[in-house]
Amino acid sequence: MKHHRVGRSLLLITLCLSLLASCTSFSDLVRAQVEGLPSWVYSPQSRSGQVSFVGKGSAPLAYNARLLAYEDILTQISSYVGEDVRATYYRELTTTNAIADFGLTISNEHERGEQRSYQVFLLARLNETLLVNRRSIVAEQILKRDAAIEALVLSADQAYRANDDTQAIRLYLEAAILSSEGPVNVRKHETAELVLKSQTFIEALRFSFRNEQPDAATVDVYLRRKSRLLAPKV
């Protein structure tokens, strides 16, 4: 008896989920019809092995609206794979209507003018395998980048504790350069955070000059952090 009730409950849940999905699709269809747009604008259908993105752009000129729609597609791809690909593929997409690395093609487009503004909608279909592979590569690169940055940060902190501030600054800046090469998962590994850390060290340094000898054009330069002597004659 209990098994029978469980079976009925599962059936009801399945029916409810199917109904919700149908309602969502129907709602998107109605919305598209009311706004005079193709159904794929709000409910793009993806074929097996494909991923679909709809790019939307609005501007006073149709050409600019189209460019914004392309940018929207690139933004969605960037979010999917985990890295910013806009600069890399902008030219290829806007000039060829395709991106070879992702198997991307523009399969549908719609344009309309409305109140001194143009709207452009582009339906892009992409190869799912190529996208997933790119996402995996990016994820692996992020892990390696985070590990390399963390090693530099640890070395920099050790140098700072040993009063070798110039070495600490150099290592933090080196880590910042590495961070700028791509995305990271750890906030303290972000480029801005690393640059700010090195800037803090730099601002804490104080230079002083002694034993000036104008005739010999020499002077002793001392580098200090607050009141602690960091280095003798430089």
**Banded pLDDT at 234 (limits 50, 70, 90):** very low
Q: Are residues 222 and 156 in the same domain?
A: yes
Residue after which a domain boundary falls, among 133, 148, 178 = 133
Q: Are residues 122 and 179 in the same domain?
A: no
Q: Are residues 80 and 98 in the same domain?
A: yes
Tell me whether residue 22 is in a domain: no
What are the CA-CA distances from residue 74 to residues 59, 83, 99, 112, 224 (Å)? 18, 11, 10, 22, 49
The predicted model gives 189-205 an average pLDDT of: 93
Q: Are residues 176 and 203 in the same domain?
A: yes
- Given a cut of 60, whether residue 33 has pLDDT beyond it is no
Tell me whether residue 3 is in a domain: no
Q: Are residues 152 and 203 in the same domain?
A: yes
Tell me whether residue 49 is in a domain: yes
Instruction: Mark 24-60 as b/e (b = at least 16 C-beta within 10 Å).
Output: eeeebeeebeeeeebebbbbbeeeeebbbbbbbbebe
How confident is the model at residue 101, as a pLDDT? 97
How confident is the model at residue 206, as a pLDDT? 77
Q: Residue 103: give its domain's CATH number.
A: 3.10.28.20
How confident is the model at residue 25, as a pLDDT? 54
The winner for highest mean pLDDT among 26-30, 147-151, 209-213 is 147-151
**Banded pLDDT at 233 (limits 50, 70, 90):** very low
**Banded pLDDT at 4 (limits 50, 70, 90):** low
How confident is the model at residue 231, as a pLDDT? 47
Give the pLDDT confidence of 140-161 residue by residue, as tens digits.
Answer: 999 999 999 999 999 999 999 9
Q: Are residues 108 and 189 in the same domain?
A: no
In 82-190, alpha helices (H): 86-96, 128-161, 165-179
Q: Are residues 187 and 98 in the same domain?
A: no
Rounded to 5 degrees, what angle do the CA atoms 84, 105, 108 make? 115
- 42 by DSSP, 3-state: which? coil
Q: Are residues 129 and 153 in the same domain?
A: no
Tell me whether residue 31 is in a domain: no
Q: Are residues 178 and 203 in the same domain?
A: yes
Count of structural domains, the chain: 2
Residue after which a domain boundary falls, among 92, 116, 133 = 133
Q: Are residues 45 and 113 in the same domain?
A: yes
Between 25-39, 44-58, 71-85, 92-106, the lowest mean confidence (pLDDT) is in 25-39
Strand order in the sheet with 228-231: 205-213, 218-225, 228-231
Tell me whether residue 23 is in a domain: no
Domain housing 107: 36-133
CB distance 83 to 76 below 8 Å: no
Q: Are residues 128 and 207 in the same domain?
A: no
Q: Are residues 150 and 210 in the same domain?
A: yes
Give the pLDDT confidence of 88-134 residue by residue, as tens digits.
Answer: 999 999 999 999 999 999 999 999 987 789 999 999 999 999 999 99
- Given a cut of 80, whether residue 208 has pLDDT beyond it is no
Residue after which a domain boundary falls, among 108, 133, 158 = 133
Tell me whether residue 8 is in a domain: no
Average model confidence (pLDDT) for the chain?
84
